[in-house]
Structure 1
Amino acid sequence: MLKRLLLAFDGSPSSRRAARFALSLAAQTQAEVTVLTVLPQPEVLPLGPLSGYVPLGPPISEVARGQVMEHLKALTSEFPQVKATHQVEVGPVADTILAAVNHLGPDLLVVGSRGLGAGGRFLLGSVSDKLVRTSTCPVTVWHAPPPSDAPEERTGR
């Protein structure tokens, strides 16, 4: 029986699909949901011989946090019976999610996949692939919806 779900949520289309699944499952099983948003560490430019760093651009955490919270509020309002808490962390995405799995001990981890394809996974790595390979709990991965202008597949020909 599911008692605790961990949802990794970044506001992307695939993570919104994953969130809808996790919240629906939690509503059916009366499980609690921890929603974890991991923001990448801000990029900085070293000052050379001077000590310190100069941030590149606005603080991403504030901008991203606002956007993610908008999506999350809309989704959780569809499932008012679900007890959901939200945590925001900054760090390497996969490693931070794995640390949360080890700390919280969820019965299921639910994540979205950005659908990078084989080339993108080879060059950039895949958070969802790493989670599936190394998580200590079962992982459900939701893929991004197909683009709305994609031609429909033909079957049986």
Structure 2
Amino acid sequence: MGNGRRCQHQLYEVTMFHSILLASDGSAAAERACAITASLASSYSASVFIIHAFHKPPNILAEPNYNEQMNERRAAAYNLVDDVANRLKQQGVSNVTNAVIEGHASDVILNVIGTHHPDLLIIGARGMSPWRGLVMGSVSLAVTQRATCPVLVVK
């Protein structure tokens, strides 16, 4: 340097992501989100928490139909998150946990963000048309607008 001072460089290990939340619904976009999650988690040695939200069957169903439907939905949800967890582990992600939570997807995701404080949420977008998204509601849009952590939306 021109003024005679010596410039000292220090190396800092920067880890952007310690924990990643992956919201999966089993869609094609969620599958692509899983692949990106595996890549990021492996690169940063991050833990991954997989969640899936499911709705209760309508209350109009009488017993035993209600319980049968509830058990089928819950079993399908656990199979989905277990499958995603196994794929992440096969791709080198060592710290993977998962949960199945009853409720509307955007509410479930936002509640998990509030309690687990992930460094990043990764979610797939189904790519609905703007009109259909307005009528049915887009989970990825609702979460992106209200999340307190960075959100990576995968199409």
Which one has the bigger strand percentage? Answer: 1
Question: Are 1:89 and 2:120 an aligned pair?
Answer: no
Unaligned runs of at least 5 residues, structure 2: 1-15
Unaligned runs of at least 5 residues, structure 1: 144-157
Farther off after superposition, 99-108 or 67-76:
67-76
Which one has the bigger helix percentage? Answer: 2
Larger of the two Rg values belongs to structure: 2
Between the aligned partners of 2:88 and 2:149, the Cα distance in structure 1 is 24
Identity in percent: 28
What SS class does the counterpart of residue 55 from structure 1 fall into?
Answer: helix
Deviation at 1:38, TM superposition (A): 0.9
Query: Alpha-carbon deviations, 1:81-112, whole Å to 9, x = none?
Result: 43110111011110010000000000100001
Between the aligned partners of 1:41 and 1:21, the Cα distance in structure 2 is 30
What is residue 146 of structure 1 aligned with on the other side? none
Question: Are 1:123 and 2:135 an aligned pair?
Answer: yes
Question: Are 1:138 and 2:150 an aligned pair?
Answer: yes
Contact 1:33 1:83 in 2 (8 A): yes
Normalised by the length of structure 2, the TM-score is: 0.79
Following TM superposition, the consecutive aligned residue runs of length 4 or more in structure 1 with deviations greater than 6 angstroms are none
Between the aligned partners of 2:78 and 2:93, the Cα distance in structure 1 is 24
What is residue 47 of structure 2 aligned with on the other side? 32
RMSD: 2.3
Contact 2:50 2:85 in 1 (8 A): no
Deviation at 1:9, TM superposition (A): 1.0
What is residue 68 of structure 1 aligned with on the other side? 80
What is residue 41 of structure 1 aligned with on the other side? 56
Deviation at 1:67, TM superposition (A): 4.3
Contact 2:18 2:44 in 1 (8 A): yes
What is residue 58 of structure 1 aligned with on the other side? 69
Deviation at 1:77, TM superposition (A): 3.9
Summarize the Cα distance change of 1:75–1:120 in structure 2 as closer, same or farther, 3 Å threshold.
same
What is residue 109 of structure 1 aligned with on the other side? 121
Between the aligned partners of 1:74 and 1:14, the Cα distance in structure 2 is 18
Instruction: Give the paired residue count.
Output: 139
Deviation at 1:134, TM superposition (A): 0.3
